[in-house]
Amino acid sequence: MVERVNIDGSEEIAMETVINRQKAYYMNGSTRSLTFRLNQLKQLKEAIKEYEEQLLDALLLDLNKPKEEAFLTEFAPVYQEITHILTHLSKWMQPKKVKTPITHKGSKSIVYYEPHGLCLIIAPWNYPFHLAIAPLIGAIAGGNCAIIKPSELTPHTSKVIAEMIRTYFDDEYVTVIEGDVEVSRALLEQRFDHIFFTGSTKVGKIVMKAAAEHVTPVTLELGGKSPAIVDRSAKLDLAAKRIAWGKFLNAGQTCVAPDYVLVHEEVMDSFLSLIQKHTKKLFSKRIRQKRYPKIVSERHLKRLVSFLEDGEVVVGGEVDVENDLLSPTILTNVAWDASIMQEEIFGPILPIFSYTTTEDCMEKANRNPNPLALYVFSETKEFQEMITQQIPFGGGCINDTIMHLATPHLPFGGKGESGIGAYHGYDSFLTFTTKKSLLKQATNFDIPFRYKQGSVLLSLLRKWVK
């Protein structure tokens, strides 16, 4: 079991010491003020600017992400999130007065937003910078201390994040603990005030079980089989282009990527032709120039390659084992009980199915319940509303993919096996705080009825509350 960790690049210290120092720092109250939170958010923004090039280089080494793609998906949302919260945090932090019933005459009811305290952020490897820093923004905005555990599968990015945080923040306030799965297990045995985890449903269940030992609240950002649905009224060329882009971005290693497509049978042939065209147009040159993101590990690549046997490859399917590359691949003639349909694909393979009626479409989509995302392409309002209102999912788009993730005005989160809780913008502030209720009672008078007993009190209560 891991008992000692390195947080400053020199000597190892006991993990318990790291935890206790942060708890003590939080208890001194300095993280709570608006001024402190705003200054720390501004400092984080400056840190990211200073380390931006190093982080871009690290992402290229870890995942072969081209710098323009890395900036679009890793940095732009983070910069936008900080700016948004800096603008609104003062208003969000204000105690909220709420109504008081007549039974509480003379009193005032107020809701305060209390920081959790010490938060653990466990980040994934697919967007190793974005998904480590975005929760940190919420933790800072909420007035908390934080420990970040980056993914060991992206070691270069993890190292730069650790250096950046160490340079700009006190260890007692925010720190990074690097390491493998054993380090994660050791952290989960500690008592935190909130745990924020992004990753697979399988590991999310382990995190939730560990949190239950201390009754620690959790936010779980997981995944699932997110469908894209193409109605016969859809603008097919645009739908094909946006689905191809959203699916094969970051080599399909995106939690909200379309996992499969349901296409109305009347437009199936046309859609297949168009999505093949756009897949080749968007990604063939990148593949040739070796500027397409790689699969994170040999183990993950082998798993994806095994899925190629589950259907007919109509485009893609090229594998470069030496460089951990799999070209964007479209499959047809896939059985619903095939292995590729039993779990989230999380790679550049897209099965495409047809459906006959709206009822058939919804029945097929609901075979994999509560996906993290859903995308519907249609020009018919009735169809849009039927799909989005009757199929449960975390969030999504009409006539687009992925882009709902990039706005701080929309909460982002899942449902059921795709996650618990949400964040981004105001919802990040809510996630990293808890509502504390307070009743301020008057002392210049006292209503005597509460002290009465028997039928008199019962009669008064019935009259006032009904």
Sole residue written with tokens 């995190």: 207
Tokens representing residue 146 in the block? 């934080």
Catalytic residue among 221, 344, 397, 417: 221
**Which residue do the tokens 């981004």 mark?**
424
221 has catalytic annotation: yes
Q: Are 421 and 219 in contact (CB under 8 A)?
A: yes
Name the token pair of 105: 């005459």
Residue type, 75: F
Q: Please report the DSSP string for 297-338 in residue order.
A: -HHHHHHHHHHGGGSEEEE---EEGGGTEE--EEEES--TTS
- Measured CA to CA, the distance from residue 227 to residue 16 in angstroms comes to 43
**Which residue among 145, 255, 361, 397 is the active-site one?**
255
Please provide the size of the chain in residues: 466
Which residues neighbour 217 within 8 Å (Cβ) at sequence distance 6 or greater?
116, 193, 194, 195, 211, 434
Calculate the CA 113 to chain-centre distance.
22
Neighbouring C-beta atoms of residue 453, cutoff 10 Å: 7
List, in sequence order, every residue forming a beta bridge with 352; answer none if it has no partner: 261
**Which tokens is 62 given?**
């870890």
Task: Give the residue numbers annotated as catalytic, written as ranges.
Answer: 221, 255
